Amino acid sequence: MARVLAIESSCDETAAAVVEDNVVRSSIVRSQIEVHAKFGGVVPELASRHHLGAVVPVVRRALADAGLERYDDLDALAVTEGPGLVGALLVGVQCARGLAIATGLPLVGVHHMEGHIFSAVLGDDRMPARELTPHIALLVSGGHTELVVVEGLGRYRILGATRDDAAGEAFDKAAKLLGLGYPGGPVVDRLAGEGDPNAIAFPRGMIDRDDFEFSFSGLKTALLVHLETHGQPDSRAALADVCASFQAAIVAVLVHKARKAVRATKLSALHVVGGVAANRGLRSAAEAAGAADGFTVVCPPLRYCGDNAAMIAAAAAARVSAGWPASTDLHTALAIDDARMRAPESP
Ligand code: KG4
Ligand code: ZN
């Protein structure tokens, strides 16, 4: 068993958590949404400054909530090394390095998207943990949209990714165009639940291509053209129709390609992870596809979809348990299938 304390500060959440393997003992997430909302998006310099103020109290809370008195009770420390906003990452990384030096504990750098992969196997006092078994991961966040074959720990193969905007970014940009504030995903999701997904025929980018690539920038342009032609929706019902139609276009492409990936690889499970995995339309469409084609669909509970440190700690705990050496040689911009993600002895 590996007990790990992790810090996550790659974007606008300061988070710390303690896990024992895949079981969450504490998970603290301090969001900066209020700081950035008035600017319509994350302001990197403000994010770094707020991480600085929050990181030490958040780490202390995570330790206390896990019932731990001392750092000696841990086997390792972990931190998100990238990708993310570099100033924001630096706060978490330097705090973790300082703790590692002070305590003598090994420090494991974790790729943010590998963390999201582990969000689907977390357990806590409300649900059992899972083993990491081979599956297709649909990684959908504010910065990434990727279909990844997860063969095992550190063995990730990217099948395809977005050529332009990430799915979460598309939701955020749509919300901005509609004057719905930041972040856009949750509010578009809520309104979409009241609207007609067939009201407006938005384009399904790259859906007919025989690959696993995505493109969402044309969809954003289509929304802009729609608003220029028809004006802003003049009622809540009209707004809900726009949101439902926009969301349906994103969900259709994501689920179509994820389904194709499961079929092509003959795997039996699809995990939908990342902030956009909180989307109700996406969750239900993925589950319907799994039921129709006979594969398992795992969507983490909402508390582990958005950025958190429990997923980072679980990814690190798996590395510690597998005997991989800890390293303070951190990388802020690796792709998830980079050779440095793999076990030292693997080819
Ligand atoms: O994984 P995450 O918390 O941060 C990144 O690593 O980027 O993802 C944040 C993204 C934002 O773009 C946000 O709008 C989106 O996830 N998001 C949603 C929902 N909740 C959050 N998108 C669609 N529907 C939601 N319910
Ligand atoms: Zn994320």
Q: What is the per-residue pLDDT across 130-173, written as a single tens digit (0 to 9) for each?
A: 999 999 999 999 999 999 999 999 999 999 999 999 999 999 99
Atom of ligand 1 nearest to the CA of 143: 7
Mutate which of 9, 119, 171 for ligand 1 pocket (most atoms within 8 A of beta carbon):
171
Judged against a pLDDT cut of 80, whether residue 117 lies above it is answered with yes
What is the average per-residue pLDDT within 285-295?
A: 98
Backbone dihedral region for residue 135 (phi beyond 0: left; psi -120 to 50: alpha; all else: beta): beta
pLDDT attached to residue 38: 87
Mutate which of 14, 165, 276, 279 for ligand 1 pocket (most atoms within 8 A of beta carbon):
276
What is the average per-residue pLDDT within 3-11?
A: 97
> Which residue's C-alpha comes closest to atom 10 of ligand 1?
142
Atom of ligand 1 nearest to the CA of 183: 14
Q: What is the per-residue pLDDT across 168-202, written as a single tens digit (0 to 9) for each?
A: 999 999 999 999 998 899 999 999 999 999 999 99
Q: What is the per-residue pLDDT across 238-261, written as a single tens digit (0 to 9) for each?
A: 999 999 999 999 999 999 999 999
pLDDT attached to residue 346: 52
Please tell me if the CB atom of residue 124 comes closer than 6 angstroms to any atom of ligand 1.
no
Instruction: Tell me the pLDDT band of 40, cut-offs 50, 70 and 90.
Output: confident
> Which residue's C-alpha comes closest to atom 19 of ligand 1?
185
Q: What is the per-residue pLDDT across 69-114, written as a single tens digit (0 to 9) for each?
A: 899 999 999 999 999 999 999 999 999 999 999 999 999 999 999 9
